[in-house]
């Protein structure tokens, strides 16, 4: 039986996004609520999860979630994402915890200005090449540099783990058609995308407004996740395959979970997003007042602005 909480959750008391557990993947289980704790039940028993400490809940096949659980997750500011088997596909997401339009407005202003968008893209590549000056490189030059970097990383990881490597190849419509290492890389990328999507949504940025990538509802998710693949999802995938025990797809998610915590990836995502868009902590406050837009200023909503009294 679901036991609701007698004390409502105060949003200002919730954990900051950078301090939360990265993500929890659940499949073939029932997600419910016990007070202010999330419960996950399957044939092995019941596990309690602190919803207020969770950044993203990934719901896989065979999962049932109750109304009470969704209410708790919403109050807790936890992103909920419905995914395919092994976390490969992204199907839908619940309302993000951000309740302010500040970041979306800043994001849109950068996205819609070619000069500012190029500056932001260069900052992204600057994070990948910290000891080099990329301030004058074109997007074409930056893409070429990044392609060479990724080829080198794949080769180094293959040599480190003694895993056979040919090239990155996968079919989004047929997961099983790839070789084992490419399956592990795809699984790892999907998990990292979930973490990036949770942080982006939590802070109020727009997942579809990519700076480097464009054209899909998750373009910006790919932008941010790409900043950390070289140290998170790629080595996690090669380590999972070299272990030669258990399921590589399962092992890679566990490896990523551990790396996200060890390398403080969520904290770094928050820091890097603030750097990319040149915003301070004060802009990340989620409690704001609803206003009305005017040509020169914003004005209060919930006010009758008619100058004349209307007689019925």
179-193, 237-251, 287-301: least confidently modelled range: 287-301
For the record, the structure tokens of 253 come out as: 């998610």
pLDDT at 6: 45
What percentage of the chain carries pLDDT values higher than 90? 38
Neighbours of 118 (CB within 10 A): 16
Q: Is the dihedral of CA 181, 168, 149, 165 positive or negative?
A: positive
Rounded mean pLDDT, 158-169: 91
pLDDT at 195: 83
* d(C-alpha 279, C-alpha 262), whole Å: 26
Is 107 flagged in the annotation as binding?
A: no
Contact assessment for residue 122 and residue 138, using Cβ atoms and an 8 Å cutoff? no
58, pLDDT greater than 90: no
Confidence of residue 22 (pLDDT cuts 50, 70, 90): low
Is 226 flagged in the annotation as binding?
A: yes
For the record, the structure tokens of 241 come out as: 């395959």
pLDDT at 2: 47
* d(C-alpha 48, C-alpha 101), whole Å: 33
Rounded mean pLDDT, 228-247: 89
pLDDT, averaged across the chain: 82
87, pLDDT greater than 70: no
Is 308 flagged in the annotation as binding?
A: no
Q: Among 133, 235, 151, which residue's Cα sits nearest to residue 125?
A: 133
Reduced to 3 states (helix: H, G, I; strand: E, B; else coil), residue 293 is strand
* d(C-alpha 181, C-alpha 236), whole Å: 11
Spell 234-271 as b/e; 16+ CB within 10 A means b: bbbbbbbbbeeeeebbebbbebbbebbeeeebbbbbbe
pLDDT at 1: 46
* 97-121: pLDDT as tens digits: 666 788 899 999 999 999 999 999 9
Rounded mean pLDDT, 235-245: 88
For the record, the structure tokens of 296 come out as: 């020169």
Q: Domains plus CATH for the chain?
A: 11-93 (3.100.10.20), 102-284 (1.20.120.920)
Confidence of residue 148 (pLDDT cuts 50, 70, 90): very high
| CA distances, 306 to each of 26, 149, 292, 310 (Å) | 53, 61, 14, 8
Scanning the chain, the segments in alpha helix (DSSP H) are 67-76, 102-111, 114-128, 139-161, 180-203, 219-225, 233-242, 248-262, 265-277
* d(C-alpha 224, C-alpha 148), whole Å: 19
Which of 10-19, 48-57, 160-169, 300-309 shows the highest mean pLDDT? 160-169
Rounded mean pLDDT, 193-202: 82
Which of 6-20, 82-96, 157-171 shows the highest mean pLDDT? 157-171
Rounded mean pLDDT, 167-195: 83
């Amino acid at each position: 039986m679901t036991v609701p909480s007698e004390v409502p959750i105060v949003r200002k008391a919730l954990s900051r996004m950078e301090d939360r557990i990265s993500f929890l993947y659940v499949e073939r289980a029932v997600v419910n609520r016990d007070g202010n704790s999330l419960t996950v039940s399957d044939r092995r028993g019941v596990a309690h999860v602190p919803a207020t400490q969770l950044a993203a809940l990934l719901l896989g096949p065979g999962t049932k979630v109750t109304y009470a659980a969704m209410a708790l997750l919403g109050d807790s500011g936890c992103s909920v994402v419905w995914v395919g088997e092994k976390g490969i596909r992204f199907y839908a997401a619940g309302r993000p915890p951000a309740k302010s339009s500040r970041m979306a407005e800043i994001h849109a202003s950068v996205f819609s200005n070619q000069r500012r968008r190029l500056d932001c893209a260069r900052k992204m590549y600057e994070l990948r090449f910290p000891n080099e000056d990329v301030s004058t490189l074109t997007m074409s030059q930056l893409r070429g540099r990044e392609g060479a970097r990724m080829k080198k990383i794949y080769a180094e990881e293959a040599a480190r783990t003694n895993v056979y490597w040919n090239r990155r190849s996968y079919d989004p419509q047929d997961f099983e058609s790839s070789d084992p290492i490419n399956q592990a890389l795809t699984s790892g990328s999907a998990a990292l995308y979930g973490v990036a999507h949770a942080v982006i949504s939590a802070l109020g940025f727009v997942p579809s407004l990519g700076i480097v990538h464009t054209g899909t509802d998750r373009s910006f998710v790919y932008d941010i996740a790409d900043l950390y693949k070289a140290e998170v999802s790629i080595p996690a995938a090669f380590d999972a395959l070299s272990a030669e025990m258990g399921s590589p797809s399962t092992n890679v998610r566990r490896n990523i979970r551990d790396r996200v915590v060890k390398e403080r990836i969520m904290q770094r995502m928050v820091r890097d997003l603030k750097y990319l868009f040149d915003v301070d902590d004060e802009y990340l406050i989620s409690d704001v007042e609803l206003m009305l837009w005017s040509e020169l200023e914003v004005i209060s909503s919930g006010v009758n602005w008619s100058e004349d009294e209307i007689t019925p």
